Amino acid sequence: MQKIEAVIQPSKLDAVKDALVEIGVDGMTILEARGHGRQKGHTEVYRGREYSVDLLPKIKVEIVVTDEMVDDAVNAIISAARTGTIGDGKIFISKIDEAIRIRNDERGEIAL
């Protein structure tokens, strides 16, 4: 089992969600987040005063999938979330040791 954390543009959430559901990802967790990557935000001007806004609103999608599904899920996210401009976001993948369904104590991949 692996966890895929994708930080994406807020406007791409629906596209990413649909793409993941289409390839058979059953569950996901969505977080409203703020962050920046290399471009370090932008500047805003209020009555002549410049403010650099380095933390931009983003959406973080968290899913945990079986090892075989990781590539499909990553490809689905990339193709749905890419605009080709700065600020498209990043994907992080990590190993998951255990998954437990709270309702009936099921463990492992069956709990996903």
- Contacting residues toward another protein, per CB under 8 A: 44-49, 51-53
Contact between 72 and 84 under an 8 Å Cβ cutoff? The reply is no
Tokens 């945990």 found at:
64
Closer CB to another protein, 12 or 58, in the complex = 58
- Tokens, residue 85: 């401009």
User: Taking the CB of residue 12, how many other CB atoms lie within 10 A of it?
Assistant: 20
Closer CB to another protein, 33 or 74, in the complex = 33
Kindly state the smallest distance separating residue 42's Cβ from another protein, in Å.
12
Closer CB to another protein, 31 or 53, in the complex = 53
